Amino acid sequence: MKQVKVYGPGCKRCETTEQMVRDTAARLGLDVEVEKVTDARAIAMAGVMSTPGIAIDGRLVHAGGLPDATRLEGWLTA
């Protein structure tokens, strides 16, 4: 099971990113655990300088703006 963290303060883009991760994983039949991280200190400690951010299995793969759907699929299936 992949561990996915979505970093963001709770803005619309962050909520959309979280839903994109969940929808993509479900469509691909992947077992993922999605955690939403909203604490500013935790976001900064993860190295996210622009939200939303996505980390998969402890590796930051995206920061700032909505992720590209094709790239998101690749991150989740890698």
User: Can you give the pLDDT of all 78 residues of the chain as single tens digits?
Assistant: 999 999 999 999 999 999 999 999 999 999 999 999 999 999 999 999 999 999 999 999 999 999 999 999 999 999
> Taking the model in full, what pTM does it have?
0.96
* Catalytic residue check, 50: no
Domains defined for the chain, CATH in brackets: 2-77 (3.40.30.10)
Q: Which residues lie across from 63 on neighbouring strands?
A: 53
Dihedral angle of Cα 47, 50, 54, 58, to the nearest 10 degrees: 0
Q: Is 71 helix (H, G, I), strand (E, B) or coil?
A: helix
Of the candidates 6, 14, 20, 37, the residue annotated as catalytic is 14
Q: Are 36 and 27 in contact (CB under 8 A)?
A: no
Of the candidates 3, 9, 10, 11, the residue annotated as catalytic is 11
* Catalytic residue check, 62: no
